[in-house]
Amino acid sequence: MLIETGRRAKTASKILARIPTDLKNTALLALAEALNGARAEVLTANALDVAEGRANGLSEALIDRLLLNEQRVDGLCADLRHLVELSDPVGAHFDETTLPNGIHLRKQRVPLGVLGVIYESRPNVTMDVAGLAIKTGNAAILRGGKETIHSNRALVQIIRQTLTAQGLPADAIQLIDSPDRALILELLKLHEYVDIIIPRGGAKLHAFCRENSQIPVITGGIGICHLFVDESADLEASLPVIYNAKVQRPSVCNSLDTVLVDKTVAAEMLPRIVEHLAPAWVTFRADPAAASHLTGFDSTLVQPAGPDDFDTEWLSLVLGLKVVDGLDAAMEHIAAHSTAHSDGILTENSAHAARFIAEVDSAAVYVNASTRFTDGSQFGLGAEVAISTQRLHARGPMGLPELTTYKWVAEGQYNVRP
């Protein structure tokens, strides 16, 4: 069923790869205007998804991921316009040199080709991927979750109509318009046509893709994120950072899951954390040492941490609390429980900050800042197709350069090898 989809995508990718930057930018601006003009239809479709999600018992965290509103549509339009302002990586030269034999050698950026993007509960991903793919000359085959089917249909219709109006191939962006999970497996076998698989979802989806794909897979987007309150931290300044990391949008992968507190400041800091976040309906899971400093709080607010709580991506207003014996213990906990997404230290000790940066092996490492900044838009990338937590090719928010590869170009004067 998907072979023809793959063929059309590959053909479209070859056309898009040679489109000049000004035409791609014109298409992105047109797409932003089209989305803005069709927001009523998009929000109506999204309301159907939200209503069906609630009827099917989706959690509030998933409903929040699913939801589009006026502000979020404004953000999508702004991200598309911001992509226009960013440099087009395609065709860029780097690592140039002239060999002793006179051959001029360089690397030159080219599109990856066809992206297969599998995602759940996030219709904004549809527009993010489309914008990034257009700017980098890639085609994309999208497979959203069944809970976003109405939203994705509306968004992809806008995208394809805009591409056609701009003289670009509509098949550059295609949607697998069926909730049949067997189609995911079929997509993972389209190695003749699809160049990379990017799953955005839970651990089961990532494992399924890694185990079944005949195409290279970039995984990421699962975040068990930490902040460590060092003994030297400015405790007053740390509270709003912790609050922002947990409360600003708890249902996303860069939200805070665990606060580690140095034992020397635990007695003072832990009650202040609970007092500061409890009005925002945050509840807490405390290890025994942390709980010993929180005996004055209601047991429904502060509960004992269970055996799996420090390995849980909460995606809700739940926060783990643990007392650690210094920087080494904090980093040991992070190494054991982090998913290598976003982890940070709150400190006034520059040596501790430098060690944390050097030794914590996460895609994004923070000093005195909220983990919520791990985002393509916040990093100035316009948007991201995913947040990679692996090492090869791309790491962290995958913006424009991460959607390209390169070729070697050698320019000679009729040189022959001796």
Gap between the Cα atoms of 215 and 360, Å rounded: 30
d(CA 269, CA 267): 6
Map out the domains of the chain with their CATH numbers: 3-221 (3.40.605.10), 225-373 (3.40.309.10)
Q: How high is the pLDDT of residue 206?
A: 85
Q: In which residue are the tokens 């999600």 written?
A: 53
Q: With CA atoms as reference, report the closest residue to 386 among 122, 150, 13, 89.
A: 122
- Which alpha helices (DSSP H) does 108-189 contain, by range? 124-136, 149-165, 182-188
pLDDT for 411 equals 96
Q: What is the pLDDT of residue 61?
A: 78
Instruction: Find out whether 323 and 287 touch, Cβ atoms under 8 Å.
Output: yes
pLDDT of the residue at 272: 98
Q: Which token pair is 346?
A: 């709150």
From residue 289, give the alpha-carbon distance in Å to each of 227, 303, 358: 17, 13, 28
Could you tell me if 345 and 260 are in contact, meaning their C-beta atoms sit under 8 angstroms apart?
no
* pLDDT for the residue numbered 382: 67
| pLDDT for position 160 | 98
Residue 282 near residue 256, CB atoms below 8 Å:
no
Please give the pLDDT value at position 98: 97
For residues 16 and 113, is the Cβ–Cβ distance under 8 A? no
| 304: nearest Cα among 295, 312, 313 | 295
- Residue 31: alpha-carbon gap to chain centroid: 22
The whole-number pLDDT of residue 71 equals 96
pLDDT, averaged per 10 consecutive residues of the chain (418 residues), comes to: 95 97 98 97 97 92 90 95 94 96 97 94 92 97 94 98 98 94 94 94 85 90 92 97 96 94 98 97 97 95 96 94 98 95 97 97 95 88 77 82 95 94
Return the amino acid letter for 255. Answer: S
Residue 54: per-residue pLDDT:
94
